[in-house]
């Protein structure tokens, strides 16, 4: 469905993404993992057409995305890491605004939006201004706007941040249902237990470069650990976490004593 072919992107002297390639098939949940500043969001922005790669190409359904960018964006749903929305609109107005930009029929949009607000337990908040929403509510709102047009590819950048445990479970089930209906999902997350459960393929990157990719088991088998989070730490060069934690607590304690 989506093919990323040797893309690179620099910001002045910093190489954010360096020769990254991967492919997402239909019905696949692809997790892009990496420590902070590893180039995950930059990669996602290039896939979304928000940033232009310095090198490389991106193909969607075997066609380059650039010449048909508007048509391509109609097939994509996106939840960003930071919930930037028009805060002076109400929840339902924002969903209607986004749905209208996808040229959805007004009646269909109204029915779908109402049902989604109710299912995500936001029925009472849909007439409230977004600036009064909590972070989790904004994430749910963005989830609604990302799916309202029934896209073929869903892209989630840290979708679970700010969500309570119940909402994370709902999110996980939504991803599973979407994949079961033949859609594909690309997501970044730091909650590795969730990644382990829902991702069919994982790629770990650091400094914009691929470290390893494959299924959870394939990645774990390349390390001496038996869980994805420990394997992730080892692969990204964060092996001595326990001693680091002790040192940090030690510094704080010293300051308090001094």
Partner 1 sequence: MDKPQNVDKAQRNILYKTALKLDWRGSTNPFTAMQGKRGKFPGIVVVILMNIFFSFMLSMMFNIAPSFFLALVLASTGGMVIIAMQLLIEYSHIIISPDDYHVISPLPVNSKTYFQAKLYHLFVYVSILSLSVSFFPAVIGSFIFDSFIFSRLY
Member of 63, 97, 127, 245 binding partner 1 (CB under 8 A): 97
- Per rule CB under 8 A, is residue 80 in the interface with partner 1? yes
Q: Binding segment for partner 1 among 96-104, 116-124, 181-189, 221-229 (CB under 8 A)? A: 96-104
Member of 33, 46, 85, 125 binding partner 1 (CB under 8 A): 85
Give the residue with the Cβ less far from partner 1, 148 or 235: 148
- Per rule CB under 8 A, is residue 108 in the interface with partner 1? no
- Per rule CB under 8 A, is residue 67 in the interface with partner 1? yes
- Per rule CB under 8 A, is residue 129 in the interface with partner 1? yes
Helix H or strand E segment including 243: helix 241-257
Please report which residue ranges of 29-122 form alpha helices under DSSP H: 40-48, 69-74, 91-101, 106-119
Member of 5, 10, 68, 161 binding partner 1 (CB under 8 A): 68
Distance CA 217, CA 215 (A): 5
Q: Binding segment for partner 1 among 25-33, 79-87, 105-113, 232-240 (CB under 8 A)? A: 79-87
Distance CA 114, CA 95 (A): 10
Strand partners, 188: 157
- Per rule CB under 8 A, is residue 111 in the interface with partner 1? no
In the block, residue with structure tokens 């400094």: 207
Distance CA 223, CA 19 (A): 24
Written as six digits, the tokens of 127 are 């007439």
Provide the greatest CA pair distance for the chain.
67
- Per rule CB under 8 A, is residue 63 in the interface with partner 1? no
Q: How far is the CB of 187 from partner 1 (least distance, A)?
A: 15
Positive or negative: CA dihedral 101, 181, 59, 19? positive
Written as six digits, the tokens of 88 are 């002076």
- Per rule CB under 8 A, is residue 101 in the interface with partner 1? yes
Residues that bind partner 1 (CB under 8 A): 48-50, 67-71, 73-74, 76, 78, 80, 82, 84-89, 93, 97-98, 100-103, 129, 131-132
């Amino acid at each position: 469905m989506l093919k990323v072919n040797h893309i690179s992107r620099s910001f002045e002297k910093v190489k954010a993404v360096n020769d990254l390639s991967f492919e997402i098939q239909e019905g696949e949940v692809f997790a892009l993992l990496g420590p902070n500043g590893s180039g995950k969001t930059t990669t996602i922005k290039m896939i979304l057409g928000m940033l232009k790669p310095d090198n490389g190409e991106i193909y969607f359904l075997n066609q380059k995305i650039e010449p048909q960018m508007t048509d391509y964006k109609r097939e994509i749903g996106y939840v960003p890491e930071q919930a930037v929305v028009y805060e002076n609109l109400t929840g339902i107005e924002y969903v209607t605004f986004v749905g209208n930009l996808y040229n959805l029929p007004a009646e269909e949009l109204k029915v779908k939006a109402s049902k989604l607000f109710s299912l995500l337990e936001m029925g009472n908040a849909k007439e409230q201004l977004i600036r009064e929403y909590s972070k989790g509510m904004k994430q749910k709102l963005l989830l609604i706007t990302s799916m309202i047009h029934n896209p073929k590819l869903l892209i989630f950048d840290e979708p679970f941040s700010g969500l309570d445990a119940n909402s994370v479970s709902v999110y996980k089930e939504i991803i599973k249902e979407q994949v079961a209906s033949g859609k594909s999902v690309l997501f970044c997350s730091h909650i590795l237990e969730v990644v382990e459960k829902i991702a069919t393929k994982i790629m770990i990157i650091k400094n914009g470069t691929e470290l390893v990719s494959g299924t959870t088991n394939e990645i774990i088998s390349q390390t001496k650990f038996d869980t994805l989070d420990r394997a992730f730490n080892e692969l990204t060069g964060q092996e001595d976490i326990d001693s680091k934690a002790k040192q940090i607590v030690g510094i704080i304690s010293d300051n308090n004593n001094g």
